[in-house]
Structure 1
Amino acid sequence: MNTKLKVKLLEDRFLGADGKILPDYKFNINLPELKIQNSKLIKKPEDKYETTLFLLEGEGRKEEGGLRTKGYFKFSYVWNEGKWWITDLEGNPTMTAPKELEEDINNFINTYLDYYEKNVPFDLKLKIQNKKKSIHPYITNLPLITVILATFNAEEHLEKALQSVINQIYPNIEYIIIDGGSTDGTIDIIKKYEDFIDYWVSKKDEGIYDAMNKGIICSLGDYLYFLGSDDEVILETVFSSIFIEEIDNIKNSKLIYGNAIFRDSAEIYDGKFLSYKLRFKNLCHQATFYKSELFRTYGLYNTKYKIWADHERNIRFWKVSNPKYLNKAIAVYRRSGVSSSGEIDKDFLSDYEYIMSWIGS
């Protein structure tokens, strides 16, 4: 089951001999029906940043690639009035899906139902069989999940991280990689999987949270998920188990989180026992899915905090997101990330009381 949903929005006349968007057109893409103007999504006044299809070039840019540079884009899709529609970032149907995309969606649903029927208890098989016979599809919503991977000189583990996302059964995943200008074999590995990566850039950055912000700015997903280059999504069914089987259960939550497993000890990071105040324990971002609306409304990671920017943002999000805990293992990760360093972020500590005011006493 390897259906991956995408739609080609640009005609071949806008592509060069290398199959990529011509430089003169790259920042001048206008698709009014999708609210895209000059290669940016039209910004609402309250949004904290503009969503852009491509990151601006600048000093130190090494390379750039992915499906998006060839005119292929991904969006969220919803079944409405007997048709599949492409939605905007607020989930509103904006244009009917092209015929080829609609066929891909329907083929996925049929294949998924066959797969699911073989892997459910006997008492659920009849339910699935009845769904197959129904004109109204079993799946009516396929939100786009953007996976953002920030990396630098990560050739040792990167390939497994890439494969763990590419092999997901869920068909609507946008993969964005922000590389900090690697000098090892990282770029070669990225290029090896370029047909499965939506957008990647290699350029020196100001640290992991700066790289993650760049990924957020150019993401089109309804939900955002951050994976480290030495981490892995634990099973190929993880995304489908959440965004198909749990879709009704999570629809009112802007932050969905579960469990993760430390690779070095097999210890479980159990999200169930997190204090609602998040005072002493951070959410594990490898086990957390964020509605992109949270970042548009409350802002990007504050790069002032070199180590705990994710903790600070999680605290701000917690009270306004109606968090939903799912007792599922999401990822395997190594305690080698910046947040696991054990170092003290003095800027975070100096602002502690102000940050905590977001969740109250």
Structure 2
Amino acid sequence: MSERAAAIAERVEAFVRGVVAPYERDRRCGPHGPAEELVAELRDKARAAGVLTPHILPDGGHLSQRETAVVLRMSGLSPLGPIACNTAAPDEGNMYLLGKVGSEAQKQRFLAPLVEGHARSAFFMTEPALEGGAGSDPSMMKTLCRLDGNHWVIDGRKAFITGAEGAKVGIVMARSDDGACMFLVDLPDPAIRIERVLDTIDNSMPGGHAIVAIEGLRVPADQMLGASGEGFKYAQVRLSPARLSHCMRWLGACIRANEIATDYACRREAFGKVLVDHEGVGFMLAENLIDLKQAELMIDWCAGVLDGGSLGTAESSMAKVAVSEALMRVADRCVQVMGGAGVSGDTIVEQVFREIRAFRIYDGPTEVHKWSLAKKIKRDWRQTQTA
């Protein structure tokens, strides 16, 4: 680990543990995420502490993925940490995409406010499942766009759009005659109407997850991100690293949950000794250490591949499956070790369990990634047979 990343990670850890964690029981943390007032307050404190958007350097450069891994892990030590430090989804992934694909004018207009922590963003890709729209299979996209003079006109419906409520920057995916396209839009816009914010198992992300109707949205042609028909390629530019970033942040959350469960097990007495001395409990904590270390190593390996410029969907799929499933086991054991205390809101353990359960689904559920890997196995086998 580089000295600069270690120094940044140390500052982020101190800030999240010392400043952010006390806000975890703040009444402004609601069922659809922390309120905008709380987000602004936490970001002001992060800005003052010099840890706002810490993975992006003052000159506009980006930490390597291996460096980012340790920094985002520290930001994840509290469910509020990524929000405070501006390393949360979907903003972190959207910033990465804009940095890779956006024009200089687009970066100045849409990326700069995100990096500065003055705006939140939303990524409009997923569509209502029961209407046959795009989900894990983006080729099913029903939202359409057509060129009308020097504007594109977009119509469709989107679902599970994280942070749409309160976002100022939107990236909208739609299908033209050329294929998938991406557009940058200012929010709010009267043509993008939030129908409702869903009640979901997780609640760490501001704005929650919304169902959105897009009706006659007019976007200037120069706000298309990249080229018409290249949207799926750009989606992979965003989604492969974004899956890994989720792993980084939630690893931090599970490390903290395990710390809380360990402290409980070493203090709580039952049947004549502290819980950790009972094999049934001690072994669960030992298994947690194993899963946490394996998750850390998988993230580090995948980040190294990405830094080498050769990260594909297979590597990010393996990391998403391995890490999300390992962290689910960790979160579940933490709840079990703490018993009744583990299912109460007195600590973040209960929330971490809920968040990790949702993590196993978003950015592609485990089963879809395994299916994708199985297809690659078959494809690679056929190539060896014809070689």
| TM-score, scaled to structure 1 | 0.31
> Which structure has the highest helix share of the two?
2
Q: Pick the structure with more strand per residue.
A: 1
Q: Tell me the TM-score normalized by structure 2.
A: 0.30
Instruction: Indicate the structure (1 or 2) with the bigger Cα radius of gyration.
Output: 2
